[in-house]
Structures are given as C-alpha cells and as structure tokens.
C-alpha cells in the first residue's frame, strides 16, 4: 500500500529557506525615496510613484484627491488626453492611476527595450510635472465622478460599505468616500485642483518603487530623472488620529435587493502596529483563511447561509477598519447576523485552539513563496514597505514574526483592540415588515 503523500508532507514538514527579494533603498537629489528590486527574468519593468495625496487629504473639498489624480494624463505639457494615451499605448506601455484614503499613485508598466522605456518615461514625466488640468477634461471627469456616485447607489454592497465607514470613523477623513458627494464634487473649482496638485505632488511627499529588468544604475537614473520633474514643496502635515468608538451603532438602510448585506466592525490596526502579527494570524483563523476559517465554516459550510463570510483587518496609515461581513436572503438576515456576532464575540473572549493556530501558521508560512512569485506581487509589497516605512527586511522576517505568535498574544491583542460591546453593525436590504409581501 502506498503511503499517503499528504500525511508524509504534514509529518515531515520542512520549512525551506527561501530567497526574499532584495530591496534596495535610496533618496534622490530632489528628496524622493526610492525602493528598487532587480527582477531580470522578463524584459519588463513596473514603476509606481506614490504621493501622500490620497482622499484623506480632501479636507472640505471631498473628491478633490481623486479628481486631481484622474486628471493628470488628461492634458499635460500642451498635449491632450488622446496624444498622451496614444504615446504610451503605441509603445505597448500601460499607464494607470490609483487612489486610496492614504495615497494617490501613478503606475507605468513598460517593456525594457531602451528606446521604448525611454519614450514611456519621457511621457510619464510630462504627466507628472506639467499637467494642464484643461477645463473640458475637468468637466468630463467631474461628470464621470457624479455617475460613479450614482453607480454606487445601485450596489447594496457599496451602500453598506459607505455607511460602515461613516459610522466607524465619524469625524476622521476615513469616514468620507473617496468619490466625494454630489454636492462636494459639483463645487470643486479648477484653482482648487491646481493648488492641491502643487501642494501634494512634491518630491518630499513621494516614494518611487521600481521592480523589473533594469540595472541598479538605470534604476538610479530613472528615479533621479522622474523625481526632478516633481513639484518643490514640503511634506504634508499630519492628519489627526482615529478616535475610539464610545458606543455600539446599528444602522439599517432600506434597499430593494434580494439579499441583505451585513457589515460589522470597528477601527482596527495601523501599518507597522506592534499588534499586527497577532491580529493578522488571529484573524486568519476567525475569518481570513479563505475556505478554511471559523466564519466560513459556521456560516457557509454548516448552515448554507451565505456565499461569502469573512473578516479582515485593513492596516492603514491610521487605524484601518476591522470588517466582518456576509450577504444572505432577507428572511434569514437576522439569523446570519447573530451567528456572525456570536462567533466574533466568542473568539475575542476565548481565542483560537492550539490546533487552529498550528494550522494557520502552516498555511501562512508554507504559502510564503506564493506571496512573492510575480513582479506584480513584489511591487505591491515594495510599495507598502516603502510608503508605510516598514522595515526593509519585512519580507525576510515575515515567517519568523508569524511563528512567534501564540494563543496568548492573539487573545491579548484581540481583547485590547476590539470591543464587542461597541461594534458598528450595518444592514442594507428590505426591512423585515416588508419581507413577507410574497
């Protein structure tokens, strides 16, 4: 009889030492921080430039960070959007932008053949250094943002998410949607955008990540070249911290959907937080482990209540949210919510079992090679490490930090960081007095 390979592997589990990407770091003459990984296998490079210009910087003009970011390539150095996009795309290059609460970024993916890469970088510099913010492009983007706001209103998931963030973050900028509101977006003026750009898209407010088949020397040259194009200016002032919630909140929003969407949570953890690893590993067991977690087991596998059931911490510059959620048909929403709450409360009170902790550690550490098996994934880590000032050996020490987590450290961190008596609970769907209309 053949010995089962599976048991063989579990018993003789070998934690092979794996090479982590070597992240090099420097600061350019203009003051931009650069993080670089040499990945020579494919003739391509990814460059991401991140600015402290996310929607947390909106202040009273909600939506301005997103609008500014989206307008950069809509007109620059006298060229219009057609010319700029064609100049990237005829090289086979891809230009993209991204906005979050904490940052705004530009990304370029290009082949590394020197003529192609040079032309793509010239175009990228133009977009970065001399956006024109043309009036017609501004009005078009404004109108698209208004449509985007409406599009969210036809998604019960998006309605729930906005209500959850609003209740969780109260007066902190994380409470506001990145798209702004209909009123705020209509009120944004071109001069506000120009000054937002000048204030936030500066070298000192930026970091550059480069991953790909470019040499150290070339990466240096590219980063000097790009950052010389940035605005002069100072580092942005700090934003106030997230406040603790004083009482539980229960929010219901009427929406004519087949399912009720449920979100539960609180402010959670920030990047580089000393409790990060116990919370991450602990949540993996509670609701983060994909098809193997307590919430998945109790809500989907045992009861068939929802297609997805999950929880996660989103570490951010300030305490990002701890969120747990599911969606289920309306007449069983209350049952599903109570199973969700009960499991969260039990877990905070009792923590995981020894068996669960061992299994979670094996999954997380054994899956380490999967975290860094492509340039895209490496780039994502490099951006997080650089932007949030995590240690350069974050990836190398990742598995050791996971191994160091204990049942006690999970229980301790969950108890200190989450208060089950002060949870925000959001439900979006048809109200219960309506549900029996059939």
Partner 1 sequence: MKHYWLKMEAIFLVLVLIIPGNTLARVYEYELDNGLKLLVKEDHRAPVVVTQVWYKVGGSYEYDGVTGISHALEHMMFKGTEKFPPGEFSRIISENGGRDNAFTGPDYTSYFQTLEKTRLPISFELEADRMRHLKLSNEEFIKEIEVVKEERRWRTEDNPQSFLYETAKATAFQTSPYRFPVVGWMQDLSSMTINDLSSWYKKWYAPNNATVVVVGDVDPNYVYALAYEYFSPLPAGEPIKINEHKEVPQQGTKRITVKRPAELPSIMMAYKTPVIKPQDKHQTEYDWEPYALEVLAGILDGGNSARIASRLVRGNEVAAGASASYQIASRLDNLFTLSGIPAEGKSIQELEVAFRNEILDLQTHLVSNEELQRVKAQVISADVYEKDSVFYQAMIIGILETVGLSWDLADAYVDRIKSVTNEQVLAVAKKYLIDDRLTVADLYPLSTKDKSSKIRSTIKGNTRAH
Site for partner 1 in 215-274 (CB under 8 A): 254-259
Q: Which of 27, 170, 346, 363 binds partner 1 (CB under 8 A)?
A: 363
Tell me how far apart the terminal alpha carbons of the chain are, to the nearest angstrom: 59
Footprint of partner 1 on residues 308-347 (CB under 8 A)?
Answer: 308, 327-331
Q: Which stretch binds partner 1 (CB under 8 A): 26-34, 106-114, 184-192, 242-250?
A: 106-114
Distance CA 161, CA 261 (A): 9
Distance CA 218, CA 117 (A): 11
Footprint of partner 1 on residues 108-147 (CB under 8 A)?
Answer: 109, 111, 113, 115-116, 119, 137, 140, 143-144, 146-147
Q: Rounded to the nearest 5°, which phi and psi values hold at 214?
A: -120, 145
Min dist CB 80 to partner 1, Å, is 8
Q: Which of 124, 242, 305, 410 binds partner 1 (CB under 8 A)?
A: 305
Residue 386 CB contacts under 8 Å (≥ 6 apart), including other chains? 25, 33, 35, 50, 207, 209
Footprint of partner 1 on residues 31-50 (CB under 8 A)?
Answer: 41-44
Q: Which of 307, 342, 353, 404 binds partner 1 (CB under 8 A)?
A: 307
Q: Name the residue among 300, 305, 275 with its Cα closest to residue 287.
A: 300
Q: Residues 52-81: x/- map of binding to partner 1 (CB under 8 A)? A: ---------------------x-------x
How long, in residues, is the chain? 438
Q: Name the residue among 1, 307, 239 with its Cα closest to residue 102.
A: 239
Under rule CB under 8 A, residue 375 binds partner 1: yes
Q: Which of 77, 341, 362, 380 binds partner 1 (CB under 8 A)?
A: 362
Under rule CB under 8 A, residue 366 binds partner 1: yes
Q: Which of 132, 301, 334, 396 binds partner 1 (CB under 8 A)?
A: 301
Min dist CB 281 to partner 1, Å, is 13
Q: How far is CA 410 from CA 284, 349, 417, in A?
A: 11, 11, 10
Under rule CB under 8 A, residue 292 binds partner 1: yes
For residue 61, give both structure tokens.
């003009």
> Between 114-129 and 216-227, two packed helices, what is the crossing angle to 10 degrees?
30
Under rule CB under 8 A, residue 85 binds partner 1: yes
């Amino acid at each position: 009889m053949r010995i089962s390979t599976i048991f063989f592997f579990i018993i003789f589990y070998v934690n092979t030492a794996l090479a982590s990407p070597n992240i090099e770091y420097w600061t350019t003459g203009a003051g931009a921080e650069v993080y670089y990984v040499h990945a020579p296998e494919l003739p391509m490079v990814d460059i991401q430039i991140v600015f402290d210009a996310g929607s947390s910087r909106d202040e009273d003009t909600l939506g301005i960070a997103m609008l500014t970011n989206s307008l950069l390539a809509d007109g620059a150095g006298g060229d219009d959007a057609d010319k700029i996009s064609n100049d990237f795309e005829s090289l086979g290059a891809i230009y993209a932008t991204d906005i979050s609460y904490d940052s705004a970024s530009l990304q370029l993916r290009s082949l590394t053949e020197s003529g192609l890469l040079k032309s793509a970088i010239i175009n990228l510099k133009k977009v970065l250094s001399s956006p024109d913010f043309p009036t017609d492009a501004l009005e078009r983007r404004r109108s698209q943002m208004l449509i985007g706001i409406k599009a969210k209103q036809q998604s019960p998931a998006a309605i729930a998410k906005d209500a959850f963030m609003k209740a969780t973050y109260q007066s902190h900028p994380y409470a506001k949607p990145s798209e702004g509101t209909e009123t705020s977006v209509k009120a944004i003026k071109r001069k506000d955008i120009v000054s937002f750009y000048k204030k936030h898209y500066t070298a000192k407010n930026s970091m550059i990540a480069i991953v790909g088949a470019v040499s150290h020397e070339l990466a240096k040259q590219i980063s000097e070249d790009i950052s010389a194009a940035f605005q002069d200016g100072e580092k942005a002032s700090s934003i106030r911290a997230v406040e603790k919630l004083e009482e539980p909140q229960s929010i219901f929003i009427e929406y004519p959907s087949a399912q009720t969407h449920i979100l539960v949570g609180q402010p959670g953890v920030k990047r580089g937080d000393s409790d990060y690893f116990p919370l991450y590993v602990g949540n993996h067991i509670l609701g983060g482990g994909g098809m193997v977690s307590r919430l998945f087991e109790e809500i989907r596998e045992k009861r068939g209540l929802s297609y997805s059931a999950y929880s996660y911490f989103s570490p951010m510059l300030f305490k990002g949210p701890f969120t747990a959620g599911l969606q289920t048909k309306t007449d069983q929403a209350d049952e599903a919510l109570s199973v969700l709450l009960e499991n969260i409360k039990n877990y905070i009170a009792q923590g995981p079992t020894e068996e669960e902790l061992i299994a979670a550690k094996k999954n997380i550490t054994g899956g380490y090679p999967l975290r860094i098996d492509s340039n895209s994934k490496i780039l994502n880590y490099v951006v997080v490490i650089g932007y949030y000032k995590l240690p350069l050996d974050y990836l190398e020490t990742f598995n050791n930090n996971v191994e160091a987590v204990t049942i006690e450290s999970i229980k301790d961190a969950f108890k200190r960081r989450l208060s089950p008596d002060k949870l925000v609970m959001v439900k979006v769907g048809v109200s219960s007095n309506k549900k029996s209309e059939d």
